Structures are given as structure tokens and as C-alpha cells.
């Protein structure tokens, strides 16, 4: 890995600052040194991501003295990638692929090893971020082409193999020569994989198959089909990805024989032959993961003696539809270029012959490369390779979108490049073409040239159909405001989506997906208004980007899908949310419901003893979706049945806990965000999570029932009444025991009340005193006897209870365990209906203590338990 600071600074200034024509150079010196011819790195291939990141494949040629005549050149057995980022940072990555060594040798002319027409056995495609499809060959005998097989594998930037696939047997000619008759085209939406078209061995027909690559790097096979090609005089085939994220296989053929004066006799046969179509162009639309339909005729001509030498098609970056450029040769060996523009439906809306006559006397490659430019128009190039020359010569010109006129491309013609003439056009319309590598050097370079723009629609969206937007690229976004997109032409909403992502630690996290049907049109159908949830831009100051799908809108005049906005292009930064919430709100419990799938999943986790894992995982995903710290969410990890539904779903209670952090939202705001995310989980991160997707979006989440808040006043009243009644009852019983029984008072004899003789007062007093003394002594004696009897009876009761306990120890244990000393349950053992042997002889003192203990238990246990519940 290496970063060349000077190159980075230089190229960044070139690409980002100068607004018009630029002619500059990107130069990189390799860090790894080799000996001899291996020390010269050669740029062999080039691929580019939508954001302008470029991946180069370098080779280092090995000299093999006695190599077979069918071997063109062999290179060092390593897959050398150079990643050139938009800021001009270059990263070196040399990967050792686990493939047969013969793949590093091309097949072709041994005397001209650098001829680009030699067959390359290794190719690569940028499937997605950090994922690369590498195609290669396996064989049981490398010298026998009939044993060759086509294979592919998915690797990451570090060379880790994620999956492999066998595509089928390799194509060989009747003379048993290997021929690469395979085309692989990526979908315009890389997340939808690619299509592969290959010739069928021993047949003029071809077969196609769609593939997708999952998030784990596994290759998934989709639909397939077969195309019947007749025995045409000439045939050219091109495969493109269409704007609606499907594919189209376009082929041009000549059906008639070469017509001369001799072959057109007699006259009626000549006239009949001239009336038949001699040239035809067809397109076979194939929607994503769907079967093919019948071919659609794009163009036909009765002009005889034409040969289609090449056909190249691409998406029109400006305007609508797709465009194909044909190179045609007539009977005088003159060559000209034709352009056909057509819609996804197959309707041709433009056909023109380009006023550009290819110069004679120069040996051109039959295939002309066509590149649709970001700001309108097309770059058409061809290269000439002279045997024994060190590099190649490149010719090119520019075509306008709407006219048949052309203009020079701005470089010196021919432009000298390396043997493979490697080039690409960056998103800012800059041509990046490889220079001829120096001999015995350890460096490589590119010429950078900004091509002229055909339309004055310059913007940074990489989409010339968009005039402006709010928020603008790199601007701030107010979370409560709508998103507005202004187009140059009238549009109508279609099947695509707007997606908003938050960028964190180099990863993109979906915040909201808005389908086109949920948006609205204004300004005479030139403005699309996108409604955004306030919680989507929930983290102020962080980096977000807005992605617009292809086919989000259609141009109204043609009802044809338009291109969208790629990832990480429309970047925005949110401001603070204008919400009114109590930040220091106490902890509040809210109620959510699990779906049927969530209920089943919970039961599976519960039966496996993993209930805690279920709830912890749910809280973690929910916190990431808001996003907030997971510490702010808590749960009692219990569920209860929902009585409002017929099937047995569950109510899941979750606590949203507020932290005393000024930068975080209050409890009410967090709950509203969670409820919004769950209710719309089809379009939010909730639907992306394994566990959060178990939350029911049809349930109206609410504050959970709080028994203390509902019954606190009644419970406090009962508690206070108990505090008053308990002591009062105790004092009343004590006071009653202290008062003597009036029936035992001997002084209540009414006869004594009539004795008023004063002579007898002293005597009466003495007698009364004596009687009271004797009565007191008698009472004391009686109480002693009664106490002794009671003590004896108590002893008998204890002895009886001990005897009963020994005889009924099992029964007593069961009742004591079940009742937990409950007086009502224990009193069952004193019922009259029980056999005498089962009756428990509780003493009065024991029964009193049990009653008093049960009374106290109401305040010590029952009321607190009710409050807790």
C-alpha cells in the first residue's frame, strides 16, 4: 500500500479545480522492485466504479524461451490490482489467486506477444463495493482445449475467495482452437448482479443466464434462456444493461447474399431480391430475473451488399433510452457509422448516418468502442496495433446526441497509448488514457484530458437530467423539511425509490426508503417533492447521502425511465432537530407487540434457554435503528399474552431510559422515533434487522399500564386505614381485659344500701372489711386453681398437637408448604368435617398469633407486592 502525496495533490488539483480543457498526467512509481523484464509494469485492464474509483490490473511479462507457438505471452503469477481513488490516492494490492498457472499465459501469436487480439484467459468485473468477479479457466489437460471449462469466483480486495462457480465448457472451433465467445455485462444497478451470454459449442445459437451476488459474496443463479441465430452472412452482438435495471441483447445481421448483375437475373428475381431486407437489427429485452420475450425489430434496410462489422450499444446518459452505433462496410469497401436510438419498449425514435467517413488505407480494428459521456454525446474510438510496435495508435471522435454531426475529440490523432490502449471516462467527463510504459522502468502513467461537454447542463449529480435540488450537494438539511428534486424536462413518477443513508466508520446504514408513489409532483411536473420522516436525519452534523434509483421517474414525453443518482454523490449534513421535549423525563415503559414470526422465534429462544439473547439482540438492533446508546433501552425480559388478538401473540414491554446528556433526545422524542420506525418498518432500518423485524407494525405502540399510577391512591388509603384500625383494635382488647366483671362484686347487694344506722356503722364497716378480705382470698385461690387447670390443659393441648404432628407429618408438611402460613389455608385443618385423627389441635394462643401474623402480612408483603406489579 502506498500513497504518493505529490501525485495526489497534483491530480486532485487537475481534476477538481480547472473547469475547462485539461491536458495533464497521472504518474505513479511502484514500490516493489523486480529483476529484468519483470520490473516493467504494464497496465493491462481498467474498470471503474460509479463514484470514479478506478481499479487497474497490472502485469509483468515473463520471458519463456521455449514456449509453444500458440502462447502469446506469459506474466508473473499474481493478480496485481492498483486502486486509484478520486482524490488520486493509489493503493497497491498484489493477490495470489488459487487458479491454474496456464491462465497467466495468453493464447495467440507467439511472434507478437503484445498483440491485444491474443486471447486473455483472466478477466475481472467490479460487482460491488469490495467485491470482484474474476473469470478464468480450468482444464484436465492444458494442451487440449476441448477439456477447458469456464469458471468464475468472487474475491474481495484482500484476495479472500467468497465463492466459485462453474459456468460451463469453453468454446472451441471445429479445428479445436480456443475462442472466447463470452460477454459479461453488469447491471446498471450493481446490486442486481450481471448477465452472461456465451456461444454454444457446435451450434450457431447462444445461451444467456442472469446472476446475482448476495451480501455474503455468494453467487446466485437466476433466469436463463437460448437465442437462435440463423446462418447469417454477418452477425454482430452487443449486450447492455437498460435503465429499468434489466438487460437487452442487441444483434445486427445481413440476411441476403451478395447481389451482382449475374445473381439478379431475371428481372423479376432481381426486383424481388432488392425488396427483401438485407440488413436487420433486433433487440431482445430481458427484465431482471424474468424470461426473454420475442425479438423486437429496431431497423431493417433493403440495401444490398452491406456487412455489419461491429455493433456497440450503451445507455444514453442524457435524454432517454439506449443508443447503438454500427460500423458498416459496403461493396466498395468503404466504411461508415450509423446510430440507432431506441426506447426500452423497442421503439426507435432516432436513426442517422454519421457524416464521418473512416479514412481508407488504415487497418482499423473492426470493433469501434462507444462510450456514452456523462454530459451528453458519445466518444467513439478505435485502435491500430502494428506488429512489432511497442504500443498502439488510437483514433477517436465525438458524436452529438441529437444530430449526425461529429467533432474532434481534442487529442492528437492518432494518440499513442500502451498496447491495450486502456482508457476510461471519469464522472466529470475527463478522459483517462494509459501512456506507453517506459522500458526497464518501474512506473506507469495516464494522460488526463477533459472532453468538451455537448450540453450546458453541468452539475455534480453525474446525471445531466437534473437541474438542481434542495438540499444541494454538500449542503445542510433540516430534518423536518422535504427533499426537492428539479428536472429539466417534465417527468412522471415510476417504480424506483429514493434512499437515504447515514455514513458511519466507512459503512452506509439505511435510514429511509421512499417509493416513488409516496412522492408528489409540482412545477408543471418538473419538480419531485419527497416526504422525509423527522427521525431520518436524526444525528446532526453527521454525513448522509441521498440515492435515487434508476427508473425513479420517467420522462413524460416518452414514458421512458431516467437514470438516477449513485451512492455517495449527493452528500448532506443535518442540522439540529426542532423538537419540544422534556429531556430529563423519568423512565417510561412502552408497549410493543411481536408478530407471529416474532412470537415463534421468542418461543424457540425461550425453549433453548436463550431468552436473554433474544431481548438483548432486539434492544441492540433497536438502539442502532434510532440511533441511540443501547444503555438507554431496558426490558424486564417478560412477555404477556395480548387479549385483543385471536392467535397467541405477545405484548413486549420495553423501557426507554433517558440519560442526562444534553446532546441526546428526550424520552418522548425517542419513543416517537421508534414508533415511526416500526410503523413504517418496510421503509426503515427496523425492517432490515433480524430481531427488530419481529416487531408488529400494525400495533399501536403506547405507554404500558402502570398499576401504581392507577391504584396508588386507593392503596395508600388502605394502608392508612390499616395503620389506624390495627392499633385501635389492639388497645380495645387490652382495655376490655382490664375491667372486672360486675357480677363478681359482692358490694352490689341492695340490702346494704338501706343500712343507715349510725350505731352500727363501725360494726358494719368491720364486718364489710372482713368479708372483702375473705372474698379476695377466695378469688385469689380460685384464680390459682383456674390457672393451674389452664396450664394443665395447655400442656395437654401441646402433647395432643405433638402426637398429632407425629401421626400426620406428611399432611402437615403439605399444608405448611402450600399455605406459606396463610391463616385461611391452615384453618382447613380445624374443620368439623375432617376425621378426628386429621384435626390439628391448635391452642388459642397459636390461633391468635396466626391471625395477628396474617394481619401484619397484608402490610409487609401483599401491599408492596401489588405496588411492584
The owner of cell 438516477 is 564
Give the model's pLDDT for residue 5: 38
pLDDT at 417: 92
Question: pLDDT value at position 477?
Answer: 95
Task: Evaluate if residue 701 carries a pLDDT over 60.
Answer: yes
Alpha-carbon span 633 to 592, nearest angstrom: 13
Q: Specify whether the CB–CB gap between 842 and 801 falls below 8 A.
A: yes
Q: What share of the chain is helix, strand, coil (3-state, %, to 5)?
A: 25, 35, 40
What grid cell was written down for 439? 522500458
Nearest by Cα to 238 from 307, 148, 154, 322? 322
pLDDT of 314-366, one tens digit each?
888 887 889 888 888 887 777 778 889 999 888 898 888 876 666 555 666 66
Q: Which of 638, 661, 642 is nearest to 650 (CA)?
A: 642
State the cell numbers at 245.
435495471
Class of domain 466-574: mainly beta
**Residue 8 in this model has a pLDDT that exceeds 80:** no
* Res. 868 pLDDT band, cuts 50 70 90: very low
CA distance 537 to 502: 8
Across 742-746, 763-767, 790-794, least confident range: 742-746
Question: Using CA atoms, how far apart are residues 126 and 133, in angstroms rounded to an integer?
Answer: 6
pLDDT at 267: 40
What torsion do the CA atoms of 215, 216, 219, 220 make, to the nearest 10 degrees?
Answer: -60
Residue 27 pLDDT > 80, yes or no?
A: yes
**Position 228 pLDDT exceeds 50:** yes
Q: How confident is the model at residue 12 (pLDDT cuts 50, 70, 90)?
A: very low
pLDDT above 90: percentage of residues in the chain: 36
Q: What is the mean pLDDT of the chain?
A: 79
pLDDT value at 261 more than 50: no
What pLDDT digit, counting tens, does each position of 523-545 carry?
A: 999 999 999 999 999 999 999 99
Is the preceding peptide bond at 686 cis, omega within 30 degrees of 0?
Answer: no
Confidence of residue 310 (pLDDT cuts 50, 70, 90): confident
pLDDT digits 0-9 by tens, 436-479:
988 778 999 999 998 988 776 777 888 889 999 999 999 999 99
Is 800 a residue whose pLDDT tops 70? no
- pLDDT digit string, tens, across residues 623-681: 999 999 898 888 888 888 877 776 666 667 666 665 656 667 788 888 889 999 999 99
Q: According to the model, what pLDDT value does residue 714 have? A: 61
Least confident of 3-12, 792-801, 822-831: 3-12
**Closest of 505, 501, 507 to residue 572, by C-alpha:** 501
The structure's pTM equals 0.73
User: Which H or E element spans position 844?
Assistant: helix 844-857
- Does the structure show a pLDDT above 50 at 753? no
Quick check: 18 pLDDT over 70?
Answer: no
Question: What does the domain layout of the chain look like in residue ranges?
Answer: 466-574, 588-705, 710-739, 793-869
Residue 401 vs residue 759, higher pLDDT:
401
For residue 131, the cross-strand partners are 128
Tell which residue, 529, 481, 656, 534, has the closest CA to residue 583.
656
Can you give the pLDDT at residue 476?
Answer: 96
pLDDT at site 149: 94
Q: What is the mean pLDDT of residues 819-835?
A: 55
Residue 665 pLDDT: 78
Residue 15 has pLDDT above 70, yes or no: no
Higher-pLDDT residue of 652, 602: 602
Q: Which residue has the higher pLDDT, 458 or 228?
A: 228
Q: What is the pLDDT of residue 857?
A: 63
Question: Across the strands, what pairs with 161?
Answer: 155
Q: What Rg do the C-alpha atoms of the chain give, in angstroms?
A: 46
pLDDT tier at 482, thresholds 50, 70, 90: very high
Contacts of 415 by beta carbon, 8 Å cutoff, 6+ apart = 393, 394, 395, 396, 433, 447
Amino acid at each position: 500500500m502506498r500513497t504518493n502525496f505529490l501525485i495526489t495533490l497534483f491530480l486532485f488539483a487537475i481534476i477538481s479545480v480547472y473547469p475547462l480543457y485539461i491536458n495533464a498526467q497521472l504518474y505513479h512509481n511502484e514500490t516493489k522492485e523486480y529483476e529484468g523484464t519483470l520490473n516493467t509494469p504494464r497496465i493491462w485492464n481498467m474498470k471503474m466504479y460509479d463514484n470514479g474509483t478506478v481499479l487497474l490490473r497490472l502485469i509483468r511479462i515473463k520471458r519463456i524461451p521455449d514456449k509453444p507457438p500458440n502462447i502469446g505471452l506469459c506474466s508473473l503469477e499474481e493478480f496485481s490490482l492498483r486502486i486509484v481513488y478520486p482524490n488520486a490516492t493509489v493503493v497497491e494490492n498484489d493477490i495470489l489467486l488459487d487458479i491454474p498457472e496456464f491462465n497467466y499465459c495468453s493464447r495467440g501469436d507467439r511472434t507478437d506477444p503484445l498483440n491485444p487480439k491474443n486471447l486473455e484467459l483472466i478477466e475481472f468485473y467490479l460487482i460491488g463495493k469490495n467485491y470482484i468477479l474474476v473469470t478464468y479457466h480450468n482444464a484436465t489437460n492444458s494442451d487440449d482445449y476441448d477439456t477447458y471449462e469456464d469458471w468464475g469466483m468472487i474475491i474481495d480486495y484482500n484476495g479472500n475467495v467468497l465463492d466459485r462457480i462453474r459456468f460451463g465448457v469453453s468454446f472451441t472451433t471445429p479445428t479445436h482452437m480456443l475462442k472466447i465467445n463470452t460477454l459479461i455485462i453488469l447491471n446498471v444497478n450493481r446490486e442486481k448482479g450481471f448477465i452472461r451470454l456465451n456461444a454454444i459449442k457446435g451450434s450457431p445459437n447462444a445461451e444467456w443466464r442472469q446472476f446475482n451476488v448476495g451480501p455474503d459474496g455468494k453467487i446466485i443463479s437466476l433466469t436463463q434462456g437460448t437465442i437462435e441465430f440463423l446462418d447469417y452472412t454477418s452477425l454482430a452482438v452487443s449486450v447492455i444493461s437498460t435503465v429499468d435495471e434489466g438487460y437487452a441483447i442487441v444483434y445486427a445481421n445481413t440476411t441476403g447474399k451478395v447481389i451482382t448483375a449475374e445473381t439478379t437475373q431475371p428481372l423479376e428475381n432481381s426486383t424481388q431480391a432488392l425488396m427483401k431486407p438485407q440488413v436487420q437489427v433486433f433487440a431482445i429485452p430481458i427484465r431482471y430475473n424474468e424470461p426473454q420475450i420475442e425479438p423486437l425489430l429496431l431497423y431493417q434496410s433493403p440495401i444490398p451488399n452491406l456487412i455489419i462489422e461491429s455493433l456497440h450499444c450503451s445507455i444514453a446518459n442524457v435524454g432517454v433510452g439506449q443508443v447503438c452505433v454500427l460500423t458498416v462496410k459496403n461493396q466498395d469497401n468503404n466504411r461508415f457509422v450509423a446510430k440507432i436510438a431506441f426506447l426500452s419498449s423497442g421503439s426507435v425514435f432516432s436513426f442517422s448516418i454519421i457524416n464521418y467517413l473512416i479514412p481508407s488505407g488504415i487497418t482499423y480494428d473492426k470493433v469501434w468502442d462507444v462510450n456514452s459521456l456523462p454530459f451528453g454525446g458519445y466518444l467513439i474510438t478505435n485502435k491500430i496495433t502494428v506488429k512489432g510496435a511497442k504500443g498502439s495508435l488510437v483514433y477517436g471522435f465525438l458524436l452529438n446526441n441529437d444530430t449526425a454531426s461529429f467533432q474532434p475529440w481534442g487529442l492528437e490523432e492518432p494518440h499513442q497509448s500502451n498496447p491495450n490502449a486502456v482508457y476510461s471516462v471519469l464522472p466529470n467527463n475527463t478522459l483517462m488514457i494509459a501512456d506507453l510504459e517506459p522500458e526497464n522502468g518501474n512506473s506507469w502513467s495516464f494522460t488526463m484530458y477533459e472532453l468538451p461537454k455537448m450540453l450546458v447542463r453541468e452539475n455534480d449529480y453525474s446525471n445531466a437530467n437534473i437541474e438542481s435540488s434542495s438540499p444541494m450537494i454538500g449542503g445542510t438539511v433540516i430534518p423536518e423539511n422535504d427533499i426537492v428534486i428539479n428536472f429539466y424536462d417534465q417527468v412522471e413518477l415510476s417504480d424506483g425509490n429514493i434512499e437515504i443513508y447515514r455514513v458511519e466508520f466507512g459503512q452506509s446504514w439505511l435510514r429511509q426508503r421512499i417509493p416513488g408513489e409516496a412522492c408528489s409532483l409540482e412545477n408543471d411536473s418538473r419538480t419531485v417533492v419527497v416526504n422525509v420522516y423527522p427521525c431520518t436525519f436524526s444525528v446532526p452534523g453527521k454525513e448522509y447521502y441521498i440515492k435515487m434509483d434508476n427508473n425513479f421517474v420517467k420522462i413524460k414525453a416518452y414514458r421512458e425511465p431516467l437514470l438516477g443518482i449513485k451512492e455517495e454523490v449527493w452528500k448532506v449534513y443535518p442540522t439540529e432537530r426542532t423538537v419540544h421535549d422534556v429531556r430529563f423525563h423519568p423512565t417510561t415503559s412502552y408497549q410493543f407487540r411481536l408478530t407471529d414470526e416474532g412470537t415463534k422465534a421468542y418461543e424457540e429462544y425461550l425453549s433453548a434457554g436463550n431468552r436473554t439473547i433474544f431481548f438483548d439482540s432486539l434492544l441492540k438492533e433497536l438502539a442502532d435503528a434510532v440511533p441511540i446508546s443501547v444503555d438507554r433501552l431496558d426490558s424486564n425480559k417478560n412477555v404477556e399474552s395480548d387479549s385483543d388478538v385471536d392467535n397467541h401473540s405477545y405484548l413486549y414491554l420495553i423501557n426507554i431510559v433517558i440519560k442526562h446528556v444534553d446532546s441526546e433526545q428526550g424520552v418522548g422524542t425517542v419513543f416517537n422515533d421508534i414508533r415511526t420506525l416500526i410503523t413504517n418498518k418496510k421503509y426503515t432500518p427496523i425492517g432490515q434487522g433480524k430481531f427488530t423485524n419481529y416487531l408488529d407494525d400494525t400495533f399501536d405502540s403506547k405507554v404500558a399500564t402502570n398499576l401504581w399510577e392507577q391504584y396508588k391512591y386507593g392503596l395508600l388509603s388502605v394502608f392508612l386505614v390499616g395503620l389506624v384500625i390495627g392499633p385501635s383494635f389492639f388497645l380495645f382488647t387490652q382495655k376490655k381485659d382490664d375491667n372486672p366483671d360486675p357480677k363478681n362484686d359482692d358490694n352490689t347487694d341492695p340490702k346494704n344500701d338501706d343500712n343507715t344506722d349510725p350505731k352500727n356503722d363501725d360494726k358494719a364497716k368491720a364486718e364489710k372489711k372482713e368479708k372483702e378480705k375473705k372474698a379476695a382470698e377466695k378469688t385469689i385461690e380460685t384464680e390459682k386453681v383456674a390457672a393451674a387447670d389452664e396450664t394443665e390443659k395447655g400442656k395437654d393441648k401441646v402433647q395432643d398437637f405433638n402426637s398429632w404432628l407425629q401421626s400426620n407429618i406428611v399432611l402437615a408438611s403439605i399444608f405448611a408448604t402450600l399455605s406459606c402460613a396463610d391463616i385461611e389455608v391452615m384453618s382447613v385443618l380445624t374443620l368439623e368435617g375432617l376425621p378426628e385423627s386429621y384435626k390439628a389441635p391448635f391452642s388459642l394462643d397459636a390461633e391468635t398469633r396466626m391471625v395477628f401474623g396474617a394481619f401484619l402480612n397484608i402490610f409487609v408483603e401483599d401491599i408492596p407486592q401489588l405496588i411492584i406489579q
